[in-house]
Amino acid sequence: MKIVLLILAAAAGILLLLLLVAIINTLLMPSKTSSYKPSENEEEALMLAEKLSKMIQCDTTSHPFVPEIEKFREFHKVLEDLFPLVHKKLERTDIDGNLLYYWKGKSSEKPILLMSHQDVVPAEGEWKYPPFSGKIAEGKVWGRGASDTKCSVMAFFEATERLLKEGFIPPQDVYLASSCTEEWAGDGAPKIVKELQRRGVELYLLCDEGGAIIEEPIGGIHGNFAMIGIFEKGKADIEFTAESLGGHASAPPKNTPIARLSAFVTKTEKHSPFKKKIPKEVEAMFKTLAPFAPFGMKMLFGNIWLFKPILKAVLTAVSAQAGAMLKTTIAFTKQSGSNAYNVIPQKATLGANMRFIPHQGEKESLEIIKKQAEKFGLSMKVLHSNNYTVPVNIKGSAYKTVEETVHKTFPGLPASPYVMTGATDAQFYQPICKNCIRFAPVIYSPEQMKGMHGLNENIEYNCLPGAVRFYENLIRAEK
């Protein structure tokens, strides 16, 4: 008994010592604040808002597997009117409505590509201002595509237009690209990639949407932060099916199809079969944000060597976004059964969307959920699946170029690596680019985040001049 007590006392002593070390580390860590707030010339901001407004007024809603090339070519005419020098001096290639521009630089050794998509999701429901009005009001530009992502398309076209007006020749070849199928992961970006492969282009750096200047990236950490996306999770659309002999609902047997599907959903949501792990990229994000956090969070984020088990346990409960960076996720999104209230279905289906994390990728995650489904007598069909993308090296020169451009363009703005839980066109460029950065240099507050794919999408126009300058500085940067 004495030996047990001695062991417990020693363990407690070691724990107290480790806690003391963590407290000292936290007290010695300098506290920082994010001081960046946009302060721009109102006349310039309004001029850019007008350009963005005209782009929004052109309805570029895309629909899966529906060719609507002429719709996008109407949008291309808007781009030609707004950015005449780009269309006069750059080599343009139109691939079924998907755009690729080439700007010859002094060298072709380290070409860069700036990209964001033309298409938008459908605009449903009752909006404050009509979704394709491009209304400029309340310091914002309103409409579908304002933040996702015509704002960044406008910004890099405007940056190129201004540099061409100066007679500037970039140090490296520059490509601009914009697909018209991004919102449904269509074949637009792959067609552009195929064209670049045909030309033998190996990109040094790509800058797409994904991360952005986020207001309060994690609850409790206040201010604006440049969250630079360095990889994105894989994804799959899956259908689960439960079958039976059917029958009349007046005498229901046990384990009907919908009951089995429901049990499967309940089990999976209450007890996730996927393991949590803090990837090194997420660890780097926490360490970067730690000095900006209040004391309790600073101690957790700044001493991951000690508090990793606690973070893994609580993050999912505290923030769905942060929790999704730690594990493969599954969201149940569609369900169908009988066509009548009094008929037990012979077949019921359940749709789900999965997102794969590197430590438990596509193959392993699909096998885990298949075995889980089989326990409830369900079959599984994978409708679409792709794995996670290779992370960008956050110590590499390409990431440092983007980070330095952030600091040059937005004084006082902290930059942090960020894991994309959603999907972008950048995923298709992996075969020709090792440095696919996901970062749009615009400010997204909770209001803008809520408006993406939702009601009343908008962007505050005072962030537009900074976005243009970011792309100018990135083009100018020596690689």
pLDDT tens for 30-61 read 999 998 988 889 999 999 999 999 999 999 99
Whether the per-residue pLDDT at 298 is higher than 90: the answer is: yes
pLDDT tens for 376-402 read 999 999 999 999 999 999 999 999 999
**Average pLDDT for 74-86:** 98
Instruction: Answer yes or no: are the C-beta atoms of 56 and 134 closer than 8 Å.
Output: yes
CA-based radius of gyration for the chain:
25
- Per-residue pLDDT at 1: 64
Whether the per-residue pLDDT at 21 is higher than 80: the answer is: no
- Per-residue pLDDT at 187: 95
- Per-residue pLDDT at 248: 83
CA angle 110, 112, 116 (to 5 degrees): 165
Confidence of residue 12 (pLDDT cuts 50, 70, 90): low
Confidence of residue 220 (pLDDT cuts 50, 70, 90): confident
Average pLDDT score over the chain? 93
Higher pLDDT, 431 or 21: 431
pLDDT tens for 178-195 read 999 999 999 999 999 999
Please state which CATH number belongs to domain 42-232+389-476: 3.40.630.10
- Token representation of residue 409: 């363009």
**CATH says 234-386 is which class?**
alpha beta
- Dihedral sign, Cα of residue 332, residue 337, residue 340, residue 341: negative
pTM, two decimal places: 0.91
| Cβ contacts of 323 within 8 Å, gap of 6 or more | 315, 316, 317
Q: How far apart are CA 433 and CA 435, in angstroms?
A: 6
Confidence of residue 219 (pLDDT cuts 50, 70, 90): confident
**Number of Cβ atoms within 10 Å of the Cβ of 268:** 18
What is the domain partition of the chain in residue ranges? 42-232+389-476, 234-386
- Per-residue pLDDT at 167: 97
**Average pLDDT for 248-275:** 93
Q: 390-407 burial, b for 16+ CB within 10 Å, e for fewer?
A: ebbebeeebbebbbebbe
